[in-house]
Structure 1
Amino acid sequence: MKKIMLAGEPMGLFIAKEEGPLEAVSTFSAAVAGAEFNVAVGLSRLGHEVGYLTKLGNDPLGKRIVRLMEENAIATDLLSWTDDRPTGFMLKGKAKKGDPDIFYFRKNSAASTISREDIDKIDFSKYGILHITGILPALSETARDASFYLIQKAKENRTMISFDPNIRPQLWPNRETMVSIMNRIAEQSDYFLPGVKEAEIMMQSSSPEAIAEYYLSRGVKNVIVKIGKDGAYAANGKESFTCPTYQEERIVDTVGAGDGFAAGILSAVNEGLSLIDAVLRGNAIGTMQLQSEGDNEGLPTRVKLNAFMRTHALKKTGGGK
């Protein structure tokens, strides 16, 4: 197996220890967050070699991120530092039900200065898969240009491209730009992993079958649409099916579930497993993360993943093709 490359922005994460509006919370616990960071952690815990392309501020949060990368066996050779911009961070509330309040401090962050020069240093021969989300191209025009350059270099080196749109409208200047850029990246991917609501924003349909057909007709090789409690719908031109997800015991925090799903898909692809086995693994890890507090605490080791899939039942679904 080759290494898997992630590209994006890790951030400091401060999680409220008490319920209530963020401005009233007195105590927070510190961690690290970021969609690509979560995927990197998930892959590393399953035994895959991972590199993370990012840029950090030369500050305590940047140093904390590197420490946690090293603790999770995530390679640091693709990251760079800047003294001119800070590392981004976020505040996350605590909620009994539903999604917690989240507030980002990432404008003009270090990661927003990622450029072509950072990508020219990469030896792509080491990497079999590049996973990117819609966050990096949203950070700045420089990061957007770097995103397309990164995809170009990956294609030139026959590195597979995985794309999770991970839509964050607040990071974009307007909806039209967001949708255009997202679709341009999606159409260049080998694996496209949208949530059904994200795909509806991007191509105006909430039908998993229509979503898959739309992107397959535009050159995407594999489309896997996350459909919540019903699991995921996958298609690649040769097969299409609805894959049920696993029954959860309780839902603690929805943040990071999609990143766990991506880690499951990418690890299975890197191991040469079938599409159905990849989606089953993605559903399992997504469910495990749903039952844990924090953005990546529920991402399992190989032993825990195997035990979960062996002992937990699949939910009933309407079926597929």
Structure 2
Amino acid sequence: MSITAPPTSEPGEMKKLDVVTYGEAMTMFVAAETGDLAKARNFVKRAAGAELNVATGLARLGFQVGWMSRVGNDSFGRFVLATLASEGIDSDAVTIDERYPTAFQLKSRNDDGSDPEIEYFRKGSAASHLSIADYRPEYFKAARHLHLSGVAPAISESSLELAFHIAAEMRAAGKSITFDPNLRPTLWRSRELMVDRLNALAAYADWVLPGLEEGRILTGLTSPREIADFYLARGALGVIIKLGSAGAYLRTAEHEATVPAPLVTNVVDTVGAGDGFAVGVISAMLDGHEPRLAVERGNQIGAMAIQVIGDSEGLPTREQLNIRS
């Protein structure tokens, strides 16, 4: 993957970014006790969102990260903005929407590694009204890399149009792009529409990062190699397929490998594992490492993420990453 050199800024210039992304952030209430979500009485408040998780992980590793969205003029919106500030994520492209609210979600606590119960309250949210009118070319093009996921394009037609616009603009500007399909079938009108639009969006990416089952849904193919070849034939430079505890499959035109994952004996919370994997891959490539080493870091951070309760709580700082390396 070719990523441009680290950014520099001259006095008076717009700030330079390493990575930019966009999406919906929600205030998340995680049950303080395990069990049925309906029986939970105490909750811990956190911020959540696939793209925000990736932005958080990259910022903790020392990269300059920008995140674009819309939040409501409400306490949830203020909480999201405070979270961005605490993580060092640039929020200059976040609009405070006076008409629509910030979304939120409820999440059960599971300490056994099983998938938690999650209920979303996002219909009509401020972020669902994101559109091409929110795109700021000078902001996005100040970054050397764009990360997209399949979540933000799924929340509304206008956000889907925005995703394609951003991808086309950044590709035309010569920026590198990663795309994690991050399937959310319930947000789409039909499975067929989801498959068609996300595969079309993936065609803008240098690197496509699906899970194995996601790849099977999107391509109709079965093996990691077949899935990877599907995206390589559509212009990707490389494809990395997440295989869970088996690691990840890497394929480029010249190389293929299955990279094993670290052994994890204490799986606590699987939500956010894929976002942690993306953080590892993107950060390593921004650091100038070869694809296999990027996959190894993706596996490493993904493994760290699933050993901690919370979507982003297990994402490491640079110091913590180096200790575990």
Q: Give the TM-score range, shorter chain.
A: over 0.9
Q: Given the alignment of the two structures, is residue 100 of structure 1 paired with residue 126 of structure 2, yes or no? A: no
Comparing 96-105 with 43-52, greater Cα deviation is found at 96-105
1:200 aligns to what SS in structure 2?
helix
Per the TM alignment, residue 144 of structure 1 is displaced from its structure 2 partner at its CA by 0.8
The equivalent of 2:200 in structure 1 is: 184
Per the TM alignment, residue 6 of structure 1 is displaced from its structure 2 partner at its CA by 1.3
1:173 aligns to what SS in structure 2?
coil
Q: Given the alignment of the two structures, is residue 6 of structure 1 paired with residue 12 of structure 2, yes or no? A: no
1:71-96, Cα deviation, whole Å (9 max, x unpaired)? 10000111111111111111000124
Query: Residue 220 of structure 1: which of 208, 233, 236 is its match?
Result: 236
Query: Residue 93 of structure 2: which of 72, 78, 90 is its match?
Result: 78
Query: Contact 2:141 / 2:170 at 8 angstroms: preserved in 1?
Result: no
The equivalent of 2:30 in structure 1 is: 15
Quick one: which amino acid aligns to residue 279 of structure 1? V
Query: Contact 1:124 / 1:159 at 8 angstroms: preserved in 2?
Result: no
| Aligned-residue RMSD, C-alpha | 1.1
Q: 2-side partners of 1:121 and 1:112: how far apart?
A: 20
Quick one: which amino acid aligns to residue 193 of structure 1? L
Quick one: which amino acid aligns to residue 153 of structure 1? E
Per the TM alignment, residue 122 of structure 1 is displaced from its structure 2 partner at its CA by 3.6
Per the TM alignment, residue 121 of structure 1 is displaced from its structure 2 partner at its CA by 5.0
The equivalent of 2:246 in structure 1 is: 230
Query: Superposed, which structure 2 residues align to 1:7-156 within 5 Å?
Result: 7-97=22-112, 98-156=114-172
Quick one: which amino acid aligns to residue 209 of structure 2? L
Per the TM alignment, residue 217 of structure 1 is displaced from its structure 2 partner at its CA by 1.0
Query: Residue 159 of structure 1: which of 171, 175, 186 is its match?
Result: 175
Q: 2-side partners of 1:96 and 1:246: how far apart?
A: 20
1:30-78, Cα deviation, whole Å (9 max, x unpaired)? 0001111111111011111000011111110111011011010000111
1:93 aligns to what SS in structure 2?
strand
Per the TM alignment, residue 306 of structure 1 is displaced from its structure 2 partner at its CA by 1.5
Q: 1-side partners of 2:299 and 2:116: how far apart?
A: 22
The equivalent of 1:317 in structure 2 is: none
1:32 aligns to what SS in structure 2?
strand
Q: 2-side partners of 1:174 and 1:167: how far apart?
A: 12
Per the TM alignment, residue 270 of structure 1 is displaced from its structure 2 partner at its CA by 1.2
Q: 1-side partners of 2:139 and 2:104: how far apart?
A: 29
Q: 1-side partners of 2:138 and 2:104: how far apart?
A: 26
Q: Detail structure 1 runs of 4+ shifted over 2 Å in the superposition.
A: 120-125
1:237-295, Cα deviation, whole Å (9 max, x unpaired)? 02111111111230010011110100011111112110011000000000000100101
Q: 1-side partners of 2:141 and 2:108: how far apart?
A: 42
1:91 aligns to what SS in structure 2?
strand
1:146 aligns to what SS in structure 2?
helix
TM-score (norm 2): 0.93
1:281 aligns to what SS in structure 2?
helix
Per the TM alignment, residue 178 of structure 1 is displaced from its structure 2 partner at its CA by 0.6
Cα pair distance change 1:236/1:262, threshold 3 Å: same
Query: Contact 1:255 / 1:290 at 8 angstroms: preserved in 2?
Result: yes
Quick one: which amino acid aligns to residue 176 of structure 1? E
Cα pair distance change 1:122/1:105, threshold 3 Å: farther
Query: Superposed, which structure 2 residues align to 1:241-252 within 5 Å?
Result: 241-252=257-268
Q: Given the alignment of the two structures, is residue 169 of structure 1 paired with residue 185 of structure 2, yes or no? A: yes
Per the TM alignment, residue 20 of structure 1 is displaced from its structure 2 partner at its CA by 2.6
The equivalent of 2:289 in structure 1 is: 273
Quick one: which amino acid aligns to residue 24 of structure 1? K
2:66 aligns to what SS in structure 1?
strand
Q: 2-side partners of 1:64 and 1:112: how far apart?
A: 18
In structure 2, the gaps of 5 or more residues are: 1-5, 8-17
Equivalenced residues, count: 309
